[in-house]
Chain A
Amino acid sequence: MVGLWIFVAGFGGGYEEKVPCRVSQFEIYSEPDEDEPFRVKLAFDYRVEGRSFKGSQLSPGFTGSSQFEKLAKLRKKVFRGEEGFMCFVHAEDPSDAVLLKSESSHLIGLLFAAFGGGFVVIGLGLILTAIRKGRKSKVRSSTAPEEEKMGGLLGCGFFGVFAAAGVAIFGVLVVPTAVKYMAAKSWVETPAQVIWSRVRQHYSSDGTTYRADVFYEYQFEGQRHRSNSYSLLGKSSSSGRSGKAKIVESYAAGTPVTCYVNPSDPVEALIERRLGWWSLMGLFPVPFAAVGFGGLYYTFFAKGKKKERSSSVAGKARTRERVTRKPPLSPLRKRGIWVMGAFVFAAFWNGIVSVFLWQLWGSWKSGSIDWFLGVFMIPFVLIGIGLILHFFYRVAAVFSPVYQVDFDRGSLRPGDSTMISWQRVGGSGSPRKVSLRFIGREKAEYRRGTSTAMATELFHEELLSVTSDRLVMSGGNCRLVLPYGAVPTFRGRYSKLQWWVILKVEVPLRPDVYEEYEVDVLPPKEFDS
């Protein structure tokens, strides 16, 4: 709504009638102590319905600008000799006119509206899901669940917001800066002199940020120009006052400096044309885009592939009888994946948290610590520390003992039995206890808002073997007899009834070794049709 309001307001607050005008004065002067130091003395004439009027207003509500270059470009455009420069007259009062309408607010408004629109889609998706849940589907045997469609809509809205944010940051922040950086490499080195310099402060709900504002004058091709563009990052500000104060000190009034001038448009100049550490800002949209596009890919493509795999019932899969069962991933590979996952997640989380900690550090250094941000960050920092500890835990788990478990038969019918053997094949540490259990487990996946949740419950548990004997712990076997009343394995997409043999090895000062091996339970032979 705010975005749409800005978009509509951008149409000019009544300045709708466009008429030709003649600008007689456009003088830029500075008030160095003001937050928006650059002012304009403006005079233009225009005619409405045969009557002449004089105007002096640049744009609705304009008092000053923080960017000299912006005004200098406008002045250049006005005095380029273009006949028929247009101004905008108020619909109700022809004596009130402006030279410019703030057009950029249209784009900002649309961006706001698009961002908010993503959340609206999520909200609508949730409401529709709730409504559909309330209504019972008339055809129960329909194999296309409505929740999947709603899930797609929710996923689209949720991940779409992230993807849009990533693209917007990339398009608005990264691309223009990169283009200017490349262009500035060929700008002409020119002597200049500082007129004044100040540290500008910007107050917001997130705290105070600072910017070095250096106003300087230079000559290019016989023409005198002025600018306060210091670096490629324009008027962006950041925490930490002392760094900006140092810049301002080194550019005191009257100091000769070197600036870089755009030869094709000499009103454009820079003092610092390197990016330095700020080039890392180019990576800022990456996590947004990765989460957004990754989520959209999963919602529309990966999920679609998963859909093609239908529910399987052990009774129908009579060709899957196997002699031995192994876990789907080797223990070492699985542990390696855990280490990588723990590292990536800890780095991602702590990377984001560190941006705010850096800001906090800056405010502390400048003597005005932002207490609210400090207290707010405590839980996030604690989670970050937990994730780092979790990473080290996963690294420790890599060196835990490695076992291989073999079954005589991987598929069993009620009353069948199978020998299970275990053998230690690597890793370090002295186990204290090795146990094998046979469990039956229900598993349900369900949607909770935009995410998928999972719940499990046991319906059968049986201890097959437990030993603390050093010799037997390194290798042994036991027998599994499947109970007569065992339900066949059921593997739906969201609901599962499965049977597992669990190997647990307790190792002092290490995480437990915990491996699961699935056993396919088939219905009794007499029910085979």
Chain B
Amino acid sequence: MSEPLIQVEGDGTFLPGERVRGELSGGSAAGEIRLFWITKGRGTQEVGVEDQEAVGAAGYFELSLPPAPYTTSGTLVSIEWGLEWLDASGEVLSACEIIVSPTRQVIQLERVEPEVGTKRRFFRFAGSS
């Protein structure tokens, strides 16, 4: 018997608001498929389940992406998107990552050094700039 597997249509990259379609195979019982984002990086991890669908041991699924957030990689905060197929007891049968972005690529948030003028001074002498 083959391993449970999620097969997503296309190359795994999506535009925001698109529908994510795919096929499940190798399962042994009914369960649920979830479309979610997860934060990575310095901050405490958090998760948002944006869509979910009850599924059988195998078959097709179709889930909706919201307009945001995008798959992003920053210095402190990164956001990833994924699909998870769970059985009735909540155990993960299979999972895969997808990219959600207007460019179909991970949005890189490059660190910008704050300009001197942005910094706040606690005290400014009459002649200082």
Contacts and interface: CB of A to CB of B under 8 A. Distances in A.
Contact of B49 (A141, A461, A488, A527): A141
B61 interface: no
Interface in A479-529: 485, 487-488, 490, 492-497, 502, 504, 506-512, 514, 522-524, 526-529
A460 B109 CA distance: 8
B75 A393 contact: no
A311 B79 CA distance: 13
A490 B69 contact: yes
Contacts of A529: 17, 64-67
B48 interface: yes
A142 B44 CA distance: 14
A502 B114 CA distance: 12
B15 interface: yes
Contacts of B49: 141, 143
Interface string B76-89: 11010010101000
B118 A439 contact: yes
A109 B91 CA distance: 47
A497 B38 contact: no
Interface residues of B, number: 56
A313 B15 CA distance: 16
Interface in B52-84: 64-70, 72, 74-77, 79, 82, 84
B74 A490 contact: no
Q: Please report whether the interface of chain B is mostly helix, strand, loop or mixed according to DSSP.
A: loop
Interface in A103-138: 138
Contact of B124 (A143, A443, A493, A508): A508
A439 B119 CA distance: 12
A488 B109 CA distance: 12
Interface stretch (A36-44, A158-166, A444-452): A444-452
Contacts of A289: none
A314 interface: yes
A76 interface: no
A69 interface: no
Interface in A363-410: 393
Contacts of A528: 17, 67
Interface string B96-119: 000000100001011111110110
Contacts, number: 194
Contacts of B42: 444, 446, 455
Contacts of A219: none
A12 interface: no
Contacts of B34: 141
A316 interface: yes
B70 A487 contact: yes
Contacts of B47: 140-143, 145
A442 B112 CA distance: 11
Contacts of A488: 67-70
Q: Please report whether the interface of chain A is mostly helix, strand, loop or mixed according to DSSP.
A: mixed
Contact of B102 (A439, A458, A492, A524): A524
Contacts of A435: 117
A139 interface: yes
Contacts of A145: 44-47
A315 B15 CA distance: 14
B113 to A, nearest CB: 8
A127 B122 CA distance: 40
Contacts of A143: 46-49
B90 to A, nearest CB: 6
B82 to A, nearest CB: 6
Interface string A446-483: 11000000011111110100100000000000000000
Contacts of A523: 16-17, 67-68, 70, 102
Contacts of B113: 458
B112 A460 contact: yes
B124 A497 contact: no
B110 A459 contact: yes
Nearest to A526: B17
B10 interface: no
B92 A512 contact: no
Nearest to B52: A141
Contact of B118 (A504, A506, A511): A504
B12 interface: no
A502 B118 contact: yes
A147 interface: yes
A437 interface: yes
A5 to B, nearest CB: 39
Contact of A492 (B43, B68, B70): B43
B117 A463 contact: yes
Residue among A457, A463, A493, A496 having the largest count of chain B Cβ atoms under 10 Å: A457
A139 B84 contact: yes
A500 to B, nearest CB: 11
A143 B46 CA distance: 7
Contacts of A504: 117-118, 120
B112 to A, nearest CB: 4
Contacts of B77: 442-444, 490, 495-497
Given A140-B47, A316-B66, A509-B126, 12 more contacts: A140-B95, A143-B47, A147-B44, A315-B68, A437-B117, A445-B43, A458-B114, A461-B112, A492-B48, A508-B126, A511-B124, A527-B16
16 contacts: A139-B92, A143-B47, A147-B44, A313-B69, A393-B123, A437-B115, A442-B74, A442-B76, A444-B76, A446-B44, A494-B39, A495-B79, A504-B120, A511-B122, A514-B120, A527-B15
Interface of A: 138-143, 145, 147-148, 310-311, 313-316, 393, 435, 437, 439-440, 442-447, 455-461, 463, 466, 485, 487-488, 490, 492-497, 502, 504, 506-512, 514, 522-524, 526-529
Q: What are the nearest 4 A-B pairs in CB distance?
A: A444-B43, A315-B68, A315-B67, A495-B43
